[in-house]
A and B are shown apart, each in its own frame.
Chain A
């Protein structure tokens, strides 16, 4: 069984799994990074969104063998101390309800702001379109992204 060395949240982690294993379950079940959530398993809900070299990807469909040398960032590694401008804005706007989708929402939003520091409503809607929130917090998510962009 091939062993994979992954760069996750700035640290090097070795995992001994089949290369087909999806990154989501390596993070959650092997490395105990449970902030990344399982929602659908088929890249339709966005709950498992993480960054590969800063780009938002769905961990539930990303094979561990595909990761290579790219840096994996999860919600736990978004900012030391949990004080990323988006996390601060999320709290200021009281975004989460049940909160289950919010790790994925935050990672999608962080990837957006990294490329588009001052996104329009339309750009936010487009970038966030793959992240479902069953509580319907979309309006507050949009406000929080604007707030973080304003402070960024």
Chain B
């Protein structure tokens, strides 16, 4: 990790006043997530109380990725804080105080916090040391720090950070504090107890759904079951008759039932009779896959072109063609969508499980018609996120409902609404062709992806759709990737990594198909294809380069192989995960078999701080419980076998699961 990149060394710190004494640092940092623009944006607070307690304000959202522990670790490492005295507070949304608060893409540490927070900890430490040096009349260079104390070994004197905090606060802030050599890290690289672990095992942790402001009413919203539809009219007679229901109101997203408790709201919602506009929409998954397949018949927009594919393919001694399809996927977070809002004429207060605090704040202010600085958004813990909570549709439900009834309201979606009104990972139809030379080398490949776009993208290419294929780790000398943009009414959005979650499986499976055609072991073909990217590793063996690319695990025993057993490795964009899975034929005559992971795949957490232990990153692939349970959580699709491979002759293991785009189940 470079520690002297000029851009990032322009971080600076500012002293703030704090009641009750102590050292209080407002940490400014350029927001590299905003594209490295010159604007400086503060992104955290560090406070050392006279008692010695260290409080770090976390301005990113925690949905299980551990950012509430990882970010404080960075500060505490450089500060030499006593980890047992480190506390956190979660930052409320603020337009600019913390920089970009959007918590997506495993970027909290990489893009936002690493150097700024190290600098903050190091600056505070230098100030504490300087304060001690002045008090004791010794040179700062004779002092050392450990576990929240400054020590002078020659005299045996020591002082806790709390005792020095007031004096330190009067000192100038070092512009460029000395950072630790990473070799001396004692906290980073370990897995200390999560700061909120005890709350999570005692039921005290406050998720979005646990907000309980005084006078709270409970609501749910029925959204139009057909994508693109709107409420035309509704009859709430029966709903209002449900014991505990207080009111039924139409909001722009649907019909809200407000009650004394959530159960009554759910019962009221079931009793509603609603008619919708444009409810003649009828489209099935099969229709969508047919339209994607039709789209993929014609060339798309070029996402990547290397060499002369046509010529290389014509000269290849063997060709392999394959089509893969991946279904729409819901996020299915454990905690269904919810938000709590208290909309008053002159102010708004939200308790939101959101990955997008600033978006929630802006939306709430606009809907309620109050200024941004009178719109308070408390960021709650989240029972999973995966990108779903970067959208603010559920915030809108709560704000509009609270505004309509003039009371604090918690809107909780039923699980059914949560599954039916997601921003799904786009369904995809992916066609691949590969050309092999006589010696079994991959000399040419084409990939054509037909899918809806999540973002506009450059030159009409949605980078999500072609991720992990446009930026393949393989150096294929003649390579063409095309994107065919599909449009339909199904809402799509960021689902975990989006593209890599399916394209890695698809492309690596295609490599396996090529290897079978070439009569080679997949790993051998992988290594050879990787080895073609020789520029930065001249002379190295292909296998060694493949190890460097994360395609082959060094020093790992080879998995036992045999009927029904195997091991695959793949590398997606970012190189953050390696998964190993094992296929178990369920019974003779069952073509579907069963896939189970030997152990949770070694998805490294997005927070690169906690390298001491590898664990699934926010819930990658399940462990080894059975498939039926996975299906119950809508999670099965995360297993790679759920992308439907189809070979050149059009065979495929099974048809996609039907998913109704319209109609209430």
Contact = CB atoms under 8 A, between A and B. Distances in A.
Given A34-B210, A76-B203, A97 B64 contact: yes
B197 A45 contact: no
Contact of A96 (B201, B263, B385, B414): B201
Interface in B367-423: 381-385, 412, 414-415
A106 B202 CA distance: 9
A91 B197 contact: yes
B313 to A, nearest CB: 41
Contacts of A102: 200-201
A91 B384 contact: no
Interface residues of B, number: 64
Interface of B is mostly: loop
A136 B619 contact: yes
Contact of B201 (A87, A97, A100): A87
Contacts, number: 174
A53 interface: no
B368 to A, nearest CB: 24
A53 B210 CA distance: 26
Interface of A is mostly: loop
A136 B622 contact: yes
A30 B624 CA distance: 37
Interface in A3-38: 17-18, 20-22, 24-26, 28-30, 32-38
A129 interface: yes
A144 to B, nearest CB: 10
Interface in A101-152: 101-103, 106, 125, 128-130, 132-139
Nearest to A99: B200
A17 B619 contact: no
Task: Pick from A20, A21, A98 the residue with the most CB of B within 10 Å.
Answer: A98
A100 B338 CA distance: 14
A132 B616 contact: no
B294 to A, nearest CB: 35
Given A99-B381, A139-B599, A21 B263 contact: yes
A91 B193 contact: yes
B198 interface: yes
B635 interface: yes
23 contacts: A17-B261, A34-B212, A35-B202, A38-B412, A39-B336, A41-B266, A45-B632, A74-B203, A91-B197, A94-B191, A95-B201, A96-B194, A96-B200, A98-B381, A98-B382, A99-B199, A99-B205, A100-B334, A106-B201, A129-B629, A134-B332, A136-B620, A136-B622
Interface of B: 62-66, 191, 193-194, 196-207, 209-210, 212, 218, 243-244, 260-264, 266-267, 332-336, 381-385, 412, 414-415, 599-600, 613, 615-616, 618-626, 629, 632-633, 635
Interface of A: 1, 17-18, 20-22, 24-26, 28-30, 32-42, 44-45, 47, 74-76, 82, 87, 90-91, 94-103, 106, 125, 128-130, 132-139
